[in-house]
Amino acid sequence: MPAPYLLRKKAFKLIEGNVDNSPLSKHINLFLIVLIIANVVAVIFESDDEFNRQFSTEFALFELISVSIFSLEYLLRIWSCVESYQFKQYSSLQARLRYMTSPLAVIDLIAIAPFFISLFIAIDLRYLRLLRVLRLLKLSHHFKGFNIFLTVILKELKSITAALMVMIFLIIIAASLMYTVENEAQPEFFGSIIQSLWWAVVTMTTVGYGDVTPVTLLGKMVATFIMLVGVGLVALPAGMLAARFGDELRERKRNLNAHVEHALADGIIDEQEHQDLAKLADKLELKPEDLERNIRILKKAHLGKKCPYCGK
């Protein structure tokens, strides 16, 4: 294999910590995680005028170094993405174009784009800092739970949307009721249904700031009912996501176990089968440790089985 291809393969393994478990790969990914967190901390302190004046040079230098590293990482990911099993069926150009339009690549671009845009276009520092805080999203490269969570949301999107729609309907009804019963007593807060929406949202979501409260007896009775409904309704999407999250993890582990059992049909797992299982575990966003543990457990179960014909 030519040297450039070997170098590209090595670069892919180093920046994709879930592909190569070498100490160097782990150190590189740990460094990137720390750098991402440090960038967000720097943005937070930089928003304070006193800190910004005192350490403006240090902040600017740190930003320059960070953008340089993130830009290099972005270019390396685009260059080496053709080594991913996900793009094996595409040409190099098609693979890179597909990767560049993927959510993770877009997040990487957002992390560096504000710096280069600010060189040519004047941007309000508040918005520039907001965009830089979005570098936190780059952590999705390094923590599989983010991607599983997004998968769960997409799968439950219809149910979540339905729950949100019901909540919106109830908020509008609650605002209309409170406008009707509290308008005369508190026209400054419940002068219209639009004004009443603030109280309805705060109450229905059980936040309860207390800046707007009903004063009439009927208004308090309506508010009590709305608060009780809100307690159960707001918890509904969270409960749906929690249940689906557990189901998704179990489904992925069952899928992996089925492939491990298939590979163990002849009693052993050869090197090629182990590589295929590792790729599947990566695709399912399960840790390599989960794969090895499942292999050990299923091997023991396989060894304990007896032949139905000879009894051995």
Q: What is the pLDDT of residue 176?
A: 94
Q: Mind listing the domains of the chain with CATH numbers?
A: 3-142 (1.20.120.350), 158-303 (1.10.287.70)
Distance CA 206, CA 77 (A): 44
Tracing tokens 């928003």 back to the chain, one arrives at 47
DSSP state of 268: -
Neighbouring CB atoms inside 10 A of 258's CB total 10
Q: What is the pLDDT of residue 67?
A: 92
For the chain, give the number of residues: 312
- Which H/E stretch holds residue 55? none
116: Cβ contacts below 8 Å, ≥ 6 apart: 67
**What stretches of 47-188 show up as alpha helix (H) in DSSP?**
49-54, 56-80, 92-100, 103-120, 125-133, 144-155, 157-182
Q: What is the pLDDT of residue 308?
A: 47
Q: What is the pLDDT of residue 68?
A: 94
DSSP per residue over 209-242, as a string? -SSS---SHHHHHHHHHHHHHHHHHHHHHHHHHH
Local confidence pLDDT in tens for the 312 residues of the chain: 566 778 888 888 888 765 556 788 888 888 998 999 999 999 889 888 888 889 989 999 999 999 999 999 999 999 998 888 777 788 888 989 999 998 888 888 988 888 888 888 877 767 777 778 888 888 877 776 677 777 788 888 888 888 888 889 999 999 999 999 999 999 999 999 999 999 999 988 878 788 888 999 999 999 999 888 888 887 777 787 788 888 888 888 888 888 888 888 777 888 888 878 877 787 777 777 778 888 888 887 766 555 544 545
Distance CA 248, CA 140 (A): 18
Distance CA 22, CA 99 (A): 24
What would you report as the CA-atom Rg of the chain, rounded to the nearest whole angstrom? 27
Q: What is the pLDDT of residue 37?
A: 92
Give the distance from CA 175 to its chain's centroid: 34
Angle 294-20-142 (CA atoms, 0-180°, nearest 5)?
A: 85
Query: Could you give the C-alpha distances from 37 to 87, 109, 114, 136, 296, in angstroms and in order?
Result: 30, 17, 17, 7, 37
Q: What is the pLDDT of residue 309?
A: 46
Indicate the SS3 state at residue 304. Answer: coil
Tracing tokens 């320059």 back to the chain, one arrives at 64
pLDDT digits (tens, 9 = 90+) for 258-292: 888 888 877 788 888 887 887 778 777 777 777 88
pLDDT digits (tens, 9 = 90+) for 179-218: 999 999 999 999 999 999 999 999 888 787 888 889 999 9
Neighbouring CB atoms inside 10 A of 169's CB total 10
Neighbouring CB atoms inside 10 A of 186's CB total 19
pTM of the predicted structure, to 2 decimals: 0.67
- Which H/E stretch holds residue 205? none
